Structure 1
């Protein structure tokens, strides 16, 4: 599985699936979540409402899928990252689950390329360096015959630099 790193807006990425750093309501929010809902159009929100009506809120670490609406991807995988509260052990486990569950869901959909944002590092205040280590570790240990490429999409230079340094090690 190839790992690529780019600094861009995830809503412009051409991949089979992009991952949304969603909130538990699945109804859109700020940051990546807001951009995906805005740029993807109302179809994504309508599908999120259907999912909520079936299962309730999305729990932290879990992942669900919708189509990508107006985005250049086929699917949006919505995962709920943990809010940082200083509990490194619990936070690490929950964030690792976001990546693992998103990758498993992507594989079940025959996705060849998937793009991840920097989950939980915005308003959820997860330490960026720790979040990047968890993301890279989960992707590297995930073995797949289907997934060919994982793209880490950084919105800012700080995250891009952290990821580049970790990937070069």
Structure 2
């Protein structure tokens, strides 16, 4: 039998689920930039912050714009706030303590777990949105749109890496 807490985690149905996913996704974006292009800390702070934000939320930002809907980066205050907090933790804490703690294996596991949950829930959400958007214009070859509801969420989950 699968424990209830595991089911709640895998389905994203637990208290503060959206907030946890958004925060750890922002942390993963900041850590990716800090471990990669900004490894030596020479990047201008705004460039590093913008790259961290785009790395974390590129798919969630651009996919909605492509569908003609407002992006959550503009309508949700938590995303930007979490990007700022994660950026400060990874780049500007005294003695680099935030970066050192977030680089430990337990924190990497937590970050990866919640960031992947964010991506998984996003793929489900955008697959449903794409199905709704494309169901009125099916292909002449088959009655249900196939490629749009599959390709659009795949772009969502993998777009952040395109900007690095």
User: What TM bracket, shorter-length normalisation?
Assistant: under 0.3
TM-score (norm 2): 0.28
More helix by share: 2
TM-score (norm 1): 0.27
Which is higher, the Rg of structure 1 or of structure 2?
2
More strand by share: 1
